Amino acid sequence: MFQVEEIRIQLPHIDLAARVYGPENGKPVLALHGWLDNAMTFELLAPRLQGLRIVAMDMAGHGHSGRRGPGAGYQLWDYALDALMAAHQLGWQRFSLLGHSLGGIISVLIAGAVPERIERLALIDGLVPDTGEAAHSPKKLGEALLAQIALADKKKTVYSTIEQAVEARKRGLIAVSQQAAELLASRGLSPVAGGYSWNTDQRLTLPSPLRLTNAHALAFVNALECPVSLVLAEQGLLLNIPEFVYFLDHLGKPNIQVERMPGGHHLHVNDEQGAQAVADCFNGFFAG
């Protein structure tokens, strides 16, 4: 029978929750979910991946994990530090990363920054962040600072029923299937006065105060030394961005395998067929 358990990873600065899949003697894999999602995004995929010990974290501010303290933020490098410290707590000196969307971006930053620690990199519709050139930085920083001040007056949406919250998630900024919305809601909703609310930290919706430039993004990808398997969703986010397609066409990295599959941005959790297709790709990759 496939093993699943819940653990908590206590770091000096934050307490993280994680859902663990697979045998204790499996190859260690740290799984990082997408923006405003949680560890349940891997619920259909993880049982289909063979011989792996997958620790799917709720990243800080998401799911059952803690929120950052007052004055702190949720920058990419903050998540990267959390992930490396979590691996240290797990006793993993060398491990692989499985990342979807934002989790894939963070995985690339980690693998580029400390390549000696990463065995393999499996990515689902995520590679590099939205970039911004230096000339736009002052304006973007101003927008981010003002948005942070304005956040104090915003209140979270309260749904009278779980079904209403699930429906809202289905029709969100990135639409998902009924099954995916229900899985994410099972870990992402909390009861509040008047009904239910998503338990993600509101600061996660703030714009980034500083973006990497195209040169920064390319430098991290070029620094990757481990084998990389990138699954791109045909109806997802990345293939609809001309800048990304250009970036992808000019990588010139023989260690990066790219597989295009039908489905949306959450193809690995939207339905069983998508999860199996991604698993078929990654099983051969991890076995290699």
Pick from 115, 73, 90, 75: nearest CA to 31: 90
State the average pLDDT over residues 113-117: 98
Q: Which of 65, 96, 101, 107 is catalytic?
A: 101
Helices 242-249 and 214-222, interaxial angle, to 10°?
A: 40
State the average pLDDT over residues 74-96: 97
Strands (E), the chain: 4-10, 15-21, 27-32, 52-57, 95-100, 118-124, 189-192, 195-198, 228-235, 256-264
CB 215 within 8 A of CB 179: no
- Residue 69 is given by DSSP the state P
| pLDDT tens per residue across span 9-28 | 999 999 999 999 999 999 99
CA distance 18 to 263: 27
CB 167 within 8 A of CB 152: no
pLDDT given at position 198: 96
Percent of the chain whose predicted confidence (pLDDT) is above 90: 88
CB 270 within 8 A of CB 181: no
Instruction: Categorize the per-residue pLDDT at 101 as very low, low, confident or very high, splitting at 50, 70 and 90.
Output: very high
* Residue 269 scores a pLDDT above 80: yes
CA distance 232 to 254: 17
CA distance 224 to 115: 6
| pLDDT tens per residue across span 24-68 | 999 999 999 999 999 999 999 999 999 999 999 999 999 999 999
- Tell me, yes or no, if 186 is annotated catalytic: no
Instruction: Categorize the per-residue pLDDT at 1 as very low, low, confident or very high, splitting at 50, 70 and 90.
Output: low
Complete DSSP assignment for 14-45:
-EEEEEEES-TTSEEEEEE--TT--GGGGTTT
Complete DSSP assignment for 231-255:
EEEEESSGGG-HHHHHHHHT---TT
Domains in the chain, CATH or no CATH each: 4-138+212-287 (3.40.50.1820)
CB 79 within 8 A of CB 27: no
Q: The pTM is what?
A: 0.96
- Mapping DSSP to helix (H, G, I), strand (E, B) and coil, where does residue 135 land? helix
State the average pLDDT over residues 200-223: 93
- Amino acid identity at 59: M
Tokens, residue 266 = 């959450």
Tokens, residue 73 = 């933020």
| pLDDT tens per residue across span 177-191 | 999 999 999 999 999
